[in-house]
Structure 1
């Protein structure tokens, strides 16, 4: 069994679930985490010198072509390049609308780049019209990435046997429509100074049955979205009571 970062190391994740994953599962999650780390956010991570287990292999410069096709390719240090983190903006999870599990909302996901405005301005002044961004569209990997963080967050409060893990088949790739369990909170979030990420879990339902929901916000010191993950379901009054107690609702009766 291997230890599992709740938020991946490449985003500065500090919290770890000890001996939480078998080797086969770790290889599965590693693949979609690398899709996000390298294909979606690779240049941005290099630009801001994000943590890496391969520090000696990290490139120090990036080559940028002229979008007009007229100028020459220029090579600039990553530390000057205003790398942008691409986030998916999306509706709430399909299960929030009581949609069938096969209704795919991922076609409604939109891309938005989160960048340092001051750094972008300085770069444009030095290299006019050369600010370009290159990434690969990886919506399924991103959704599984968020789902895995949400599941791990719930396990900081609950035991796996406390609930039915609705999200697991999606994380493992057995179910493909990740938009059914992953969505975005509708409220606009403001930056929180000096906070790399914000995680929480809550219960939604009655005293007899309900859902375990985790909220995930990454790069929270920027204006980034808060995602939610339908982690699992719980039934019977006894099990609901147990979940509420473990989640800190000590003074509330289910």
Structure 2
């Protein structure tokens, strides 16, 4: 694991960028809403004003809520990450699948006793980098599991069980679409992409117009990074080898989680900046 130290990259708790004046997803100019680059429920206070119409905001919000109230909900509650409802309505106990011998059963444990296991999917390269191997959807190779709270082996011992299993309630598609939305909106905010000149193809997959999110979202081999006291990392990078503009997104950066890559366009089509973002925790 690599600890990366980049003092030249701004660390922003909150910021309002310049507004776009049209929906960055469809070009609509009426009924515009503020767009949170990183979802508010993940600690996102970086705002792109007047940049999402009501219809597109409903689509992206539905995607985000599927993840925020699914696999990410326990860690949001445990860490006290901001919530519009201040986590009212969040369950006080979480379901856990437990195996005793040949039988599985589901029990519920309070947060402080629960083995918070967060699965981060491992994707192949974005399909546009291997077009001969890509058809549709996502190409998932596996997952990496990160443990928060009590260690799983201790929970197994305390329960007198043979095995435990934590279910993940959101799908790989929602997570990939949310990640693409984060990278794209950051590219717009930083000036790397001007939606008034046309939207990247990945946007059509975010909105559900095409089932090709894996063509633009994936993972490029690179050292894992761990940045102290930082909740998330979003970067906009030049890939000169492939002549592409790439968004990089890493959630819970202080835990050394994987970095996801989002292809946003070619360097011929966009104005590129090296601006990146760290969102500090707490």
TM-score (norm 2): 0.73
Query: In the alignment, which of 37, 40, 56 is matched to residue 25 of structure 1?
Result: 56
CA distance in 2, matches of 1:163, 1:195: 33
Cα offsets for 1:46-71 (capped at 9, x unmatched):
44444322222122222445322769
Secondary structure of the structure 2 residue equivalent to 1:213:
strand
* Residue of structure 2 equivalent to 1:180: 215
Residue 43 of structure 2 corresponds to residue 8 of structure 1: no
Residue 275 of structure 2 corresponds to residue 214 of structure 1: no
- With CA pairs under 8 Å and 6+ residues apart, which has the higher RCO, 1 or 2? 2
* Residue of structure 1 equivalent to 2:141: 109
Residue 263 of structure 2 corresponds to residue 230 of structure 1: yes
Cα offsets for 1:129-188 (capped at 9, x unmatched):
374312235121111111101101101222323564221111111111211000112123
Instruction: Note closer, same or farther for the CA distance 1:128–1:224 as it changes in structure 2 (3 Å cut).
Output: farther
TM-score (norm 1): 0.80
Structure (1 or 2) with the greater strand fraction: 2
RMSD across aligned positions (CA): 2.9
Instruction: Note closer, same or farther for the CA distance 1:180–1:64 as it changes in structure 2 (3 Å cut).
Output: closer
Any gaps of 5 or more consecutive residues in structure 1?
A: 249-254
* Residue of structure 2 equivalent to 1:51: 82
How do 1:1-254 residues align onto structure 2 when only pairs under 5 Å count?
A: 1-54=32-85, 55-68=87-100, 74-97=107-130, 99=131, 103-104=135-136, 106-116=138-148, 119-120=151-152, 122-129=154-161, 131-136=164-169, 138-158=171-191, 159-161=194-196, 164-205=199-240, 210-233=243-266, 235=268, 243-244=271-272, 246-247=273-274
- Could you tell me whether the CA contact under 8 Å between 1:144 and 1:170 is conserved in 2? yes
- Could you tell me whether the CA contact under 8 Å between 1:166 and 1:230 is conserved in 2? no
Shift of 1:120: 3.9
Any gaps of 5 or more consecutive residues in structure 2?
A: 1-31, 276-282
Instruction: Note closer, same or farther for the CA distance 1:247–1:160 as it changes in structure 2 (3 Å cut).
Output: farther
- How many residues were matched structurally? 239
